[in-house]
Amino acid sequence: MSLIEGLREDIANVMHKDPAARSRLEVVFCYPGFHAIAIHRLASPLFRKGFFVLARWLSHLARWLTGIEIHPGATIGRRVFIDHGMGVVIGETAQVGDDCTIYQGVTLGGTALERGAKRHPTLEQGVVVGAGAKVLGPFTVGAGARVGSNSVVIKAVPAGATAVGIPARVIVEDDARRREEQAERMGFSAYGLTKDVNDPLATALHRLIDHVAEQDRTIEQLQAALARLGARVEEHVEPLDAGKLNQMVD
The per-residue pLDDT string of the chain (250 residues; one tens digit each, 9 = 90 and over) reads 788 898 999 999 999 999 999 999 999 999 999 999 999 999 999 999 999 999 999 999 999 999 999 999 999 999 999 999 999 999 999 999 999 999 999 999 998 888 878 999 999 999 999 999 999 999 999 999 999 999 999 999 999 898 988 888 887 666 666 666 665 565 554 444 434 455 555 666 667 777 787 888 888 888 888 888 887 766 555 555 555 545 554 5
- Strand, coil or helix: 96: strand
Class of the CATH domain delimited by 3-171: mainly beta
Phi, psi at residue 170, to the nearest 5°? Answer: -95, 125
Helix (H) or strand (E) holding 183: helix 173-185
Residue 239 gets which letter from DSSP?
A: P
Residue 160 to residue 195: CA distance in whole angstroms: 29
Query: Pick from 137, 44, 141, 154: which is nearest to 97 by CA?
Result: 141
CA 49 distance to own-chain centroid: 31
CB 135 within 8 A of CB 108: yes
Q: Where are the alpha helices (DSSP H) in 18-149?
A: 24-30, 32-48, 52-66
Continuous segment of H or E residues that includes residue 81 = strand 81-82
Dist. CA 144–CA 129, nearest whole Å: 10
Phi, then psi, of 141 in degrees rounded to 5:
-100, 115
Angle 180-184-189 (CA atoms, 0-180°, nearest 5)? Answer: 70
Determine contact, residues 70/36, Cβ cutoff 8 Å: yes
The pTM of the full predicted model, rounded to 2 decimals, is 0.70
**Closest by CA position to 16, among listed 131, 106, 95, 99:** 99
DSSP 107: E
Task: Please name every residue paired with 138 in a beta bridge, in sequence order, or none if there are none.
Answer: none
What is the enclosing helix (H) or strand (E) of 16? helix 3-17
DSSP string, 117-172: S--S-EE-TT-EE-TT-EEESS-EE-TT-EE-TT-EE-S-B-TT-EEETTTTEEE-
What are the sequence ranges of the domains in the chain?
A: 3-171, 177-249
